[in-house]
Amino acid sequence: MSFTEIKYYLPEFFYPFLPEIFSREIPKEIFTDCYRCPMICNSREEIGQDVSKPFAPDTKCCTYFPHIPNFLAGAVFVDDDPSLEQGRDRLRKCIKEKKGVYPHGIFPTKKYSILYELGKADGFGKSQILKCPFYLDGDYNCSLWKYREAVCATWFCKHVGQQAGQSFWSSVTKCLKYMEECLILYVLKKENLPVIHPFGNNNNISYEDLDELPMNKAEYDYRWHKWVGREEEFYIQSFDYIKNLSKEGFSALMGINFQIMLSELEENYEPLVQIPEILQADPSQTFKETEKGYYRIELKTWIERNDSYVTHAINFPKIIIDSFDGSRTTNEVMDLLREKHEINPGRDIIIALYQHGVLIRR
């Protein structure tokens, strides 16, 4: 059975702080494969020709500028892992240019953020303007993957659990983002630095931001105080502060709001892993046999980032679908498939068929 612990998908940096629920098992997201992306077309000229492949091959889903917390930036600087070499160089380039560089961490500029919100419906997965500055060409595309932030760690183009999977991962994202925000503010308070959001409290864009110039010097000095010119050192200090937090200290920082989020995560976990006692193939669907012994199954997924559906089709053993005729329990069908047909589809596959409506509760 292809199940794994929730925390497997998150950076190891967070493991010492994670509550028990993150050690529970969920179905692996087997419909996604960042190394062999199933969502990219062969070339930019083919964009739009196949609805199952909506992304460009030179951007994939990396048309998003991550919000890199101060302590994760510091982790990149102190870790001598060769896989982070280009990530370190690119973080240093951001610091040198003084664009989107805050004590909070390395963030997109306000101009980028507004363009992203206006353009993601049509540009997500395709736009070169929106492409992540830490994206690498070639087989392995993320220069910061080891210390990826919340959205990059928890976003999937497709979910085994369909809507239940999307709701579940939305809860995980919410928890991880809240953890990051609390830890960022903890560092700022330790250093008596302004805690105002990097984008401020209004929608105004400075001319420096519009023209992609370094941040206004007065604002930059106000935000950084004594750390001006020592930004990399500050990020390393941030990493040290968080690395040395005890689990008790972490829990105290998170407070009651985190407990509420964990309760929501618990509520969204159960529907993802539960399978009805008796299932049957949806009688309203016509399953077409495309080759001997196989049905062509179409699975539809909602991509919320660009507000559209994507359909992916798979050839699936006919005997599995036909065995779910509503006359046996799910466990009895699984036993029958193993003993009589030497097939073990696994609970993750049954969850996928159920959540996508191929199998329904009787």
- 127 and 80 within one domain: yes
Q: Are residues 284 and 215 in the same domain?
A: no
Q: For 207-221, what is the mean pLDDT?
A: 94
The residue-averaged pLDDT of 291-303 equals 85
Q: Are residues 290 and 241 located together in one domain of the fold? A: no
Q: Output phi, psi for 71, to 5 deg.
A: -75, -30
Residue 171 and residue 142 in one domain:
yes
Task: Among 249, 272, 295, identify where a domain stops.
Answer: 272
> How many structural domains are present in the chain?
2
Which domain, by its residues, includes 239?
3-272
Q: pTM of the full predicted structure?
A: 0.93
Choose one of 221, 246, 272: the last residue of a domain. 272
- Residues 340, 316, single domain; the answer is yes
Between CA 151 and CA 190 the distance in angstroms is 26
Other Cβ atoms within 10 Å of 93 Cβ, number? 11
Based on the fold, state whether residues 341 and 244 are members of the same structural domain: no
Whether the CB-CB separation of 232 and 131 falls below 8 Å is answered with no
Q: 176: which 2 tokens?
A: 């991880």
What is the pLDDT averaged over residues 351-362?
Answer: 94
For the chain, give me the number of helices (H) and strands (E)?
12, 10
Residues 47 and 157 in one domain: yes
pLDDT value at position 298? 86
> At residue 326, does pLDDT exceed 90?
yes
Nearest to 51 by CA among 125, 129, 105: 125
Q: Same domain, yes or no, for 168 and 303? A: no
Q: Same domain, yes or no, for 264 and 290? A: no
| Helix axis angle, 70-78 to 231-243, nearest 10° | 100
- Mean pLDDT of all residues in 156-170: 93
**Residue found by looking up tokens 């206004």 in the block:** 216
The span from the CA of 260 to the CA of 126, in Å, is 36
- Are 205 and 263 in a shared domain? yes
More confident: 307 or 186: 186
Is pLDDT at 202 greater than 90 in this prediction?
no
Q: How far is CA 201 from the centre of its chain?
A: 27
Do 212 and 284 fall within a single domain?
A: no
At residue 306, the pLDDT reads 67
- 3-class DSSP state of 172: helix
Is the confidence at residue 310, as pLDDT, over 80?
no
User: DSSP letter at 213?
Assistant: P
pLDDT tens digits for range 15-72: 999 999 999 999 999 888 888 888 899 999 999 888 788 899 999 999 999 999 999 9
